[in-house]
Structure 1
Amino acid sequence: MRLMENYQMKAFRDFLDSCCLMDLESKGCAYTWANNREGDAYVKKRLDRAVCSMEWRVAFTEVEVYAFSAIGSDHSPLLISLSLGHAKRRKEFKFEDFWLEEAEYGEIVRDAWLKAEDTNQNLLIKLKRVSGELEVWSKSKFTNAHKRIKSLKKEIQKLTNHPSGGQDRERVQSLKEEIEKLWR
Structure 2
Amino acid sequence: MVSVYENVGKRPVDIRRMMNFQSMLSNCALLDLNYASAHYTWCNQRLGEDHVKERIDKAVGNVEFREAFQLALVMHVEPVGSDHHILAVDCEFKHARTQRSFKVEAVWLEHEDYLQTVEKGWLQCNVLGRDKVEELVCRLENYKRVLSE
Q: Give the TM-score normalised by the residue count of structure 1.
A: 0.42
Give me the whole-angstrom Cα distance separating, in 2, the residues matched to 1:49 and 1:43.
18
Give me the whole-angstrom Cα distance separating, in 1, the residues matched to 2:80 and 2:67.
33
Count how many residue pairs are aligned between Structure 1 and Structure 2: 85
Match of 2:56 in 1: 47
Aligned-pair CA distance for 1:5: 3.1
Q: Which has the higher contact order (CA 8 A, sep 6+)?
A: 1
Q: How does 1:130-169 map to 2 (within 5 A)?
A: none
Which string of whole-angstrom CA distances, capped at 9 and with x for unpartnered residues, describes residues 78-97 of structure 1? 00111247xxxxxxxxxxxx
Match of 1:66 in 2: 75
Give 5+ residue unaligned stretches, structure 1: 86-184
Q: Give the TM-score normalised by the residue count of structure 2.
A: 0.51
Change (3 A) 1:28 1:39: same
Match of 1:57 in 2: 66
Structure with max Cα Rg: 2
Give me the whole-angstrom Cα distance separating, in 2, the residues matched to 1:25 and 1:54.
13
Q: Runs ≥4 in structure 1, deviation > 6 angstroms? A: none
Q: Which has the higher helix share?
A: 1
Question: 3-state DSSP class of the match of 2:20?
Answer: helix
Give the counterpart of 1:19 among 28, 34, 37.
28
Give 5+ residue unaligned stretches, structure 2: 1-10, 95-149
Q: Is the 8 A contact 2:34 2:72 kept in 1?
A: no
Aligned-pair CA distance for 1:3: 9.6
Instruction: State the percentage of identical aligned residues.
Output: 36
Q: How does 1:102-181 map to 2 (within 5 A)?
A: none
Q: RMSD across aligned C-alpha pairs, in angstroms?
A: 2.5
Q: Is the 8 A contact 2:31 2:60 kept in 1?
A: yes
Question: 3-state DSSP class of the match of 1:56?
Answer: helix
